[in-house]
Structure 1
Amino acid sequence: MEQPTTKGAATVADVMAAAPSPVSDLSEVAIVVLNYNGAHFLRQFLPGVLAHAGGARVVVADNASTDDSLGLLRADFPAVEVLAFTGNLGFCEGYNQALARLDSPYFVLLNSDVAVQPGWLPPLYELLRDNPRIAAAQPKILAHDNPTLFEYAGAGGGYLDELGYPFCRGRLFDTLETDRGQYDDPRPVAWASGACCLVRAAAWRALGGFEPAFFAHMEEIDFCWRAQNAGYEIWYHGGGTVHHVGGGTLPKTNPHKTYLNFRNGLALLFKNTAPGELAGFFILRVLLDWVAGLRFLVAGSWPEARAVGQAHLHFVLRLGYWRRRRKLARPRLLASQRPGTYRGSIVWAYFGQGKKRFLQLSDIN
């Protein structure tokens, strides 16, 4: 595996002190939108992407849509490059195959339901261009329907607790904070949102892209965790902003989404946790997952509870595969060594201690 450059790690002070660079040419960047039956989103949001691309290539990779996506792209967006797949490859393999066909040094992974704002991309590009150890970075992600609020998928940068549960600056579980500029600073984090992030192509290829067995959900967290284990850094930069609709493919309460999140959550922890911590953290994670399943039962959400059980069963049935993937991932960093890690349980902090805001948390790397 290709290793990141030996240049010293970027620091917040370095990034904050750097003079603004008048980036007028983003030709090294390819903005890649993965689409599946999202013609309405393309019609709504693609004009803004093109208007604020700054010279970057704009590519739509289509997962065999059955709506009028391809016809719309041909008729209304001739400047957009189109990669048309013959079947629905899912989010993970769709991006894996799309990015394998592109030769740009940097890729933007951009959901079709994201409205980009003026100046959203240059801060991310400058960050990766000037700091070769950074594999990926995301901008500030606010809600499209209520742009004063941080959005669920990414918010002000992605974090993990010791058990692999994800959360964000600006979003703990279902509690969304109002954006008051409190998270405008650039900062190392645990993961960058797949809704909108800039990725270094060399790091993407060295790490093998997304985990194909995830299909969708948490794939960007797995990629970023593997990147940290390989010596790369992941960053957030609040100098650029996008607005995300969210839930454009699967609604939040969809049992299949619950299944993917719980199955992939177990695989995420199993693949990437350091050897000395795996057993203890994994047992606690399984127990907490079952508590979540019982909460679904008590609430009368039988399909959601069933999805949790199926997720665990299917993880066990493919344990051999996940063991092989863990060996390839070569986990090495302890929780105390990973930037963007809360040294404790975010579930206990939120539900047991009533900590509903990121700034109420302590013991974060």
Structure 2
Amino acid sequence: MSWIDIPDGSPFGPENLPLGVFRYGDEEPRVGAAIGDQVIDLAPVASAQMLDGAQLFAEPTLNAFLALGRPAWRATRNWLLDLVRNENDRDAVEPHLTPQSAVSMQLPFEVADYVDFYASEQHATNLGRLFRPDSEPLLPNWKHLPVGYHGRAGTIVASGTDIVRPSGQRKPPDASVPTFGPSQRLDIEVELGYVVGTPSKLGAPVPVDSFEDHVYGVVIVNDWSARDLQAWEYVPLGPFLGKSFATSISPWVVSLDALAAAAVPLPVQDPAVLPYLSGSRLVNFDITFEVYLNGQLVSTPPYKDIYWSPAQMLAHMTVNGASVRTGDLFASGTVSGAAKDQRGSFIELSWGGREPLVVDGKEHTFLEDGDVVTIAAWATGGDGSRLGLGEVTGRIRPAVS
């Protein structure tokens, strides 16, 4: 319950309170919390209540707050919960509520490093069948380790940023030499991203049971993908220009504590994983994504059945001694379900372009200039309660000539 009026169907109820960075008019960006269709401007409220670390909410990114670590994250969440529940705090908070429609949301944190995994068995199987129809869809290593690659932190952009169609080398199977030009198979990838707060030391792997000590929360990720550029370049070293041009993230960071009610057991992993990937608290989250193309719902990928847990991703990412930093982002890779309308990319939804989708009476395979893609997500608790992650959106602009 909250004294703040929350519209029916809002993703940001009083148990959620995600953090983000907003700008009001010409004022400097600063940290806010979302509730209903409003933003709580945290800096003046925290200062008035003499909260430890109040000055961090006046920062233009969440990084300084993220670096405080789990005890401070939990204390801040408890403070926020009291603010929105306690009628006695109305006079302190109400003057600092601003409609979300009146602010512009910024990139919520400065991204230090970015890692993209490939953790959905259904997605990996679909692509294996598309790319290697005469072979086993999963490569031999896939069920032994969370496959991933390092991406570009500098091209992660805030939701609402236009995406310029990338250009590069492409070589169709029937061509003898490559050509250069705009991607003709521009795609999306529906992903869940994990935001690192507490850093680790170089040379010290992060155990799976220490996941919550390092990761603050989650964002929705759309990892745009140029499939034709990727197909020509990725053997033998993996994704490069086909992935590095842009990755969009949602503006609100939902804490792991807020998501706790949506935790579900990890699916059975067979064969058994190596000891460093085994732990007593391995979970996923019951999250459903909604993919909209030009306003029409085209897919609802489920996250709960993803094969590798985020704790295993972090453990594998650091098992060689690599460190993580405040602001690191690692993402699940494309999330796809078993049904056709649960696939998390257009290469799967159109089955390599051979089975077009019909949107507003028009056939679609890959993205066209002017297309708008919006990805929303909801977490479902064991009691049936819903908690929103917000949405991430982007419009495709023509390639630079």
TM-score above 0.5? no
Give TM-score scaled by structure 1 length.
0.26
Which has more radius of gyration? 2
Give TM-score scaled by structure 2 length.
0.25
| RCO higher in structure (CA 8 A, sep ≥6) | 2
More helix by share: 1
